[in-house]
C-alpha cells in the first residue's frame, strides 16, 4: 500500500474575490501535493471556503442579497481560481455544507463531553470590523463622540452570553506537544512567537455568538452559533469524514499538513490542536506558515491601486511562468515581492534562456541532423557521467526540501543542474563535433536529452503543463513520468523518433507602446 499524505490550504473567506495571496498559497500547496503524488504517495489535497460569520452577513446586507447568495457567488470565484491555477485538489470544502455542520457539531459535543465547554458571558468593547474585544483602556472617545479601538475602528459595548472553551487547561499539553514535536510548526521564527505566547498564559476562548445566526448552531442551544474558529478549523477533519474516525478516509489521511498564511498561525498551532486534544482526535502533523506578497514593496490595497488579480497575472504571463515565479522567487515562509520586471526577469532568464533554449537547441539538432531519432550513447566520458550524476542526485535533495516545504530550494537545486547542463553543452560543442565524430555527437545529445528528461520529471509539480510538453518532446511515455523513473535505472531509450521540437517557454517580449 502506498504511503498517504494529506495536505490542506487554509479555507478562504469569500466575502470578496480571490487575490494573489489566495493564489499563492494554493499554488504552493498544489505543488507539494503534486510532488508527493509523483513520489509515490496516496495524496489527499483539500482546499475550500469558510462561508460563515458576521462579515459575510454584513457584506451580503450591503449588497442587498442573502449571505447564502453571497457565499454561492463568491465561492464560485474561488473554484474558478482553482481551475485557473490548475489545482489538483481532491476536494473543495464549503463550511455551509451538511457534512460540515455534522462534523462541527460532533467536535463540539466531543469537547463538551470532555468538560471543556461551559456557558458564561462576555462583556466588553467590541469592534465588529476587527472582530475583537478590547479593554476599556485601549479605546478612546474621539471628537466625533464615537469610541474607537486601538486599530482605529469603532467599538461598541457588547455584553453577551457565550460558550467558552477551556483553553487555559491546555497550556502544558500544548507546550509538551511543541517540545516533543519540533517539526509541529514552521518556519522557526513562528515557533518562537507561539511558544512565548503560550508560555505567557492562555485564557479561555469564547466560541459562540448569539448576535447573529449565520453559522452552525450550537447543539442543544440553538440561540448560539459557533464562533468562527471552531467552525472554520474543523473543515480539515470534515473533509476526511469526521466524526467517522474509524472510516476509511479518516484513518487513511488524518493527520494533515496545513499550509497557512502567517497571520493565522496562532489559530492553527494553539487553538486547533487544543480543540483536537479535547475531542480526542490526533493533532496535525505539521503547520507551515508562508509569508505575504507585496507588489513593489507595497502591501496590496485598493486605495493604492496596486491590486493585481490572479487572473490578470495568468493572462499576462501564462500559468506556468506565474507558478514558477512565485515559488522560485519567494523563499517559502518569507514575505516576498513581485513586479512586472521581476516576473519577466525570471521567466526569460530561467525558463526561456536556460531551460527552454537548452531543450530547443538540443532537440532541434536531433531533428535536423538525425532525422528526429534519439541517438544512442557511445562511450561515456567523464563530463557525461558528471552531468548525469548531477541530475541523478536531484531527487533526494528535492525530497528533503519539499519535506520542509522549501519549494524554492528544490527549484534552486534543479536550476543549478540546468545551468550545469548548459555549460556541459557549450563545452562539448556538439555543433562542431558533428563534423568530425558522429558517435560522440550522438552521445552528447543523448546525455543532454537524458538530463532534460529528469529535469522535466522533476518540474512537473511546479509547471505541470510545460513539463508535460517537454516530456512529450523527449518521447517519454505518460506512464513513465513518476519519480520512480528518476535516476540511472530508467534512462531514455534510444532509437525512438521524437516529435518535431516546439518552443516550451517563450520569451516575454515587452510590447512597445504604440505611440
- Sites of contact with RNA (CB under 7 A): 135, 137-138, 189, 192-193, 196-197, 200, 263, 266, 331, 334, 337, 345, 349, 352-354, 356-357, 359-361, 364-365, 368, 419, 422-423, 425-427, 429-432, 503-507
Quick one: 49 or 269, whose CB is closer to RNA? 269
CB of 352 to RNA, least distance (A): 3
Quick one: 4 or 364, whose CB is closer to RNA? 364
CB of 260 to RNA, least distance (A): 14
Residue 455 C-alpha from the chain's centroid: 22
CB of 276 to RNA, least distance (A): 21
- Smallest CA-to-CA distance from 276 within 304, 237, 223 is with 237
CB of 426 to RNA, least distance (A): 3
Quick one: 137 or 145, whose CB is closer to RNA? 137
Quick one: 107 or 293, whose CB is closer to RNA? 293
Separation of alpha carbons 77 and 65, rounded Å: 17
Distances (CA, A) of 497 to 121, 148, 370: 75, 73, 10
Helix (H, G, I), strand (E, B) or coil at 439: helix
CB of 38 to RNA, least distance (A): 23
**E strand or H helix at 111:** helix 98-113
CB of 112 to RNA, least distance (A): 27
Separation of alpha carbons 186 and 269, rounded Å: 10
Residue 53 DSSP symbol: S
Quick one: 29 or 448, whose CB is closer to RNA? 448
Contact 290, 404 (CB under 8 A): no
Quick one: 114 or 422, whose CB is closer to RNA? 422
CB of 353 to RNA, least distance (A): 3
Distances (CA, A) of 199 to 175, 266, 283, 383: 8, 13, 19, 56
Quick one: 136 or 248, whose CB is closer to RNA? 136
Separation of alpha carbons 25 and 323, rounded Å: 11
Contact 286, 257 (CB under 8 A): yes
C-alpha cell at position 222: 440553538
Amino acid at each position: 500500500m502506498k504511503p498517504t499524505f494529506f495536505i490542506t490550504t487554509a479555507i478562504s473567506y469569500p466575502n470578496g474575490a480571490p487575490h494573489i495571496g489566495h493564489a499563492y498559497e494554493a499554488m504552493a500547496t498544489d505543488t507539494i501535493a503534486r510532488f508527493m503524488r509523483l513520489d509515490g504517495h496516496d495524496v489527499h489535497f483539500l482546499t475550500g471556503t469558510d462561508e460563515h460569520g458576521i462579515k459575510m452577513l454584513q457584506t451580503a446586507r450591503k449588497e442587498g442579497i442573502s449571505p447564502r447568495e453571497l457565499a454561492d457567488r463568491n465561492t464560485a470565484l474561488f473554484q474558478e481560481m482553482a481551475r485557473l491555477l490548475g489545482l489538483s485538489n481532491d476536494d473543495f470544502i464549503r463550511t455551509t455544507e451538511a457534512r460540515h455542520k455534522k462534523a462541527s457539531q460532533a467536535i463540539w459535543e466531543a469537547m463538551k463531553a470532555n468538560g471543556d465547554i461551559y456557558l458564561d458571558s462576555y462583556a466588553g468593547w467590541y469592534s465588529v470590523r476587527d472582530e475583537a474585544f478590547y479593554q476599556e483602556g485601549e479605546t478612546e472617545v474621539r471628537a466625533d463622540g464615537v469610541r474607537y479601538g486601538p486599530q482605529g475602528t469603532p467599538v461598541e459595548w457588547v455584553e453577551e452570553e457565550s460558550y467558552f472553551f477551556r483553553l487555559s487547561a491546555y497550556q502544558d499539553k500544548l507546550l509538551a506537544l511543541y517540545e516533543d514535536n519540533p517539526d509541529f510548526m514552521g518556519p522557526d521564527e513562528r515557533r518562537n512567537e507561539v511558544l512565548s505566547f503560550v508560555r505567557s498564559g492562555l485564557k479561555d476562548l469564547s466560541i459562540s455568538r448569539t448576535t447573529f445566526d449565520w453559522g452552525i448552531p450550537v447543539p442543544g442551544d440553538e440561540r448560539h452559533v459557533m464562533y468562527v474558529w471552531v467552525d472554520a478549523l474543523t473543515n480539515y477533519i470534515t473533509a476526511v469524514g469526521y466524526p467517522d474516525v474509524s472510516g476509511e478516509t479518516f484513518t487513511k489521511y488524518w493527520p494533515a499538513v496545513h499550509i497557512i498564511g502567517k497571520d493565522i498561525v496562532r489559530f492553527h498551532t494553539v487553538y486547533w490542536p487544543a480543540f483536537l486534544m479535547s475531542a480526542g482526535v490526533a493533532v496535525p502533523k505539521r503547520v507551515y506558515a508562508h509569508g505575504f506578497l507585496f507588489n513593489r514593496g507595497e502591501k496590496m490595497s485598493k486605495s493604492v491601486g496596486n491590486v493585481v488579480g490572479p487572473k490578470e497575472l495568468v493572462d499576462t504571463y501564462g500559468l506556468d511562468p506565474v507558478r514558477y515565479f512565485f515559488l522560485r522567487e519567494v523563499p517559502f515562509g518569507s514575505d516576498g515581492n513581485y513586479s512586472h520586471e521581476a516576473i519577466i526577469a525570471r521567466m526569460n532568464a530561467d525558463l526561456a534562456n536556460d531551460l527552454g533554449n537548452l531543450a530547443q537547441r538540443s532537440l532541434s539538432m536531433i531533428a535536423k541532423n538525425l532525422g528526429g531519432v534519439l541517438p544512442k550513447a557511445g562511450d561515456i566520458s567523464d563530463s557525461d557521467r558528471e552531468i548525469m550524476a548531477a541530475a541523478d542526485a536531484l531527487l533526494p535533495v528535492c525530497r528533503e526540501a519539499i519535506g520542509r516545504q522549501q519549494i524554492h530550494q528544490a527549484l534552486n537545486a534543479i536550476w543549478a543542474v540546468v545551468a550545469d547542463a548548459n555549460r556541459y553543452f557549450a563545452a562539448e560543442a556538439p555543433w562542431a563535433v558533428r563534423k568530425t565524430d558522429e558517435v560522440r555527437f550522438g552521445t552528447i545529445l543523448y546525455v543532454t536529452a537524458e538530463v532534460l528528461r529528469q529535469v522535466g520529471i522533476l518540474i512537473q509539480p511546479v509547471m505541470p503543463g510545460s513539463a508535460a510538453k517537454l516530456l512529450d518532446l523527449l518521447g517519454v511515455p505518460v506512464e513513465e513520468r513518476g519519480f520512480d523513473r528518476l535516476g540511472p535505472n530508467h534512462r531514455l531509450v534510444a532509437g525512438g523518433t521524437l516529435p518535431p521540437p516546439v518552443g516550451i517557454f517563450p520569451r516575454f517580449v515587452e510590447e512597445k507602446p504604440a505611440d
